[in-house]
């Protein structure tokens, strides 16, 4: 109750009142110029990353659609494959970038202390593995590339190829693995409240701007400058539509 009473004056202080009508023109013009400048800078940075090959938009054999001006293909941003020497094995047959692996292990242990069993379902995937997953399942389900891309990234466009993305399940409720039902599990509840402490964030929340289906199980590590650079275009797009 104490906390609620403390929150009220803060909320009132930031609420818009008569002051907003008294804003002089100068600061308004300055804010618009700053916003435009930030948008342009973000666009140049993105183009710079594309031209340096840091983001490498490319055509995918079997998909007729071309990447858009931001390098996105069917809503997914391009991601390079992590160098093999940067990957460490975190569970049998599952690999992550070393810093993401360390953070995940700390997060898993903290959850365990709270009585929650996080279970790693998928981690790093090479571009060729992603190719198999994308096209084999597309064929099995008789789907178009567009329909398939709603639930799986085309090869060269998966966060899993960076070695920073993971799919997490609840060890006590395996039937919810890779299903939207995962959002009702203790593991998801725990992650929502704690994952950012370990630099993990949900990549495809409900109603995400990328247009990818809601994936409560898919989290990406953003706890290093390299990881942040990788996901900067996706974050900017989600936050500002750039």
| Binding region for Zn ion (CB under 5 A) | 167, 218
69/81 Cα distance (integer angstroms): 21
Q: Between 9 and 93, name the residue whose CB sits nearer to Zn ion.
A: 93
Residue nearest to Zn ion (CB): 218
Q: How far is the CB of 30 from Zn ion (least distance, A)?
A: 42
Phi, psi of 219 (to 5 degrees): -125, 150
Phi, psi of 203 (to 5 degrees): -80, -40
Q: Between 218 and 230, name the residue whose CB sits nearer to Zn ion.
A: 218
Q: Which letter does DSSP use for residue 73 in this model?
A: B
DSSP string, 32-77: HHHHHHHHHHHHHHHHHHHHTTSS-----TT--PPP-TTS-BTTBP
Q: How far is the CB of 203 from Zn ion (least distance, A)?
A: 7
Q: Between 99 and 167, name the residue whose CB sits nearer to Zn ion.
A: 167
Q: Between 167 and 170, name the residue whose CB sits nearer to Zn ion.
A: 167
Question: Are 167 and 202 in contact, with CB atoms under 8 Å apart?
Answer: no
């Amino acid at each position: 109750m104490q906390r609620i009473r403390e929150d009220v004056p803060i909320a009132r202080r930031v609420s818009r009142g008569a002051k907003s009508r008294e804003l002089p023109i100068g600061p308004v013009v300055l804010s618009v110029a700053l916003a435009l400048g930030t948008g342009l800078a973000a666009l140049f940075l993105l183009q710079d990353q594309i031209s340096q090959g840091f983001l490498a938009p490319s055509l995918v054999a079997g998909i007729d659609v071309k990447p858009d001006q931001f390098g996105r293909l069917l809503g997914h941003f391009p991601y390079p494959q992590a160098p093999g020497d940067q990957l460490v094995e975190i569970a049998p047959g599952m690999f992550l970038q070393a810093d993401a692996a360390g953070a995940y292990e700390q997060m898993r242990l903290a959850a365990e202390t709270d009585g929650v069993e996080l279970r790693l379902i998928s981690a790093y995937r090479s571009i060729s593995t992603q190719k198999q997953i994308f096209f084999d399942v597309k064929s099995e389900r008789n789907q178009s590339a567009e329909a398939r891309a709603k639930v799986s990234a085309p090869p060269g466009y998966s966060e899993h190829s960076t070695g920073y993305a993971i799919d997490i399940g609840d060890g006590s409720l395996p039937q919810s693995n890779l299903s939207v039902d995962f959002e009702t599990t203790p593991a998801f509840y725990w992650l929502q409240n704690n994952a950012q402490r370990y630099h993990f964030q949900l990549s495809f929340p409900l109603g995400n701007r990328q247009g990818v289906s809601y994936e409560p199980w898919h989290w990406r590590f953003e706890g290093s400058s390299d990881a942040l650079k990788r996901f900067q275009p996706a974050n900017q797009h989600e936050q500002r539509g750039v």
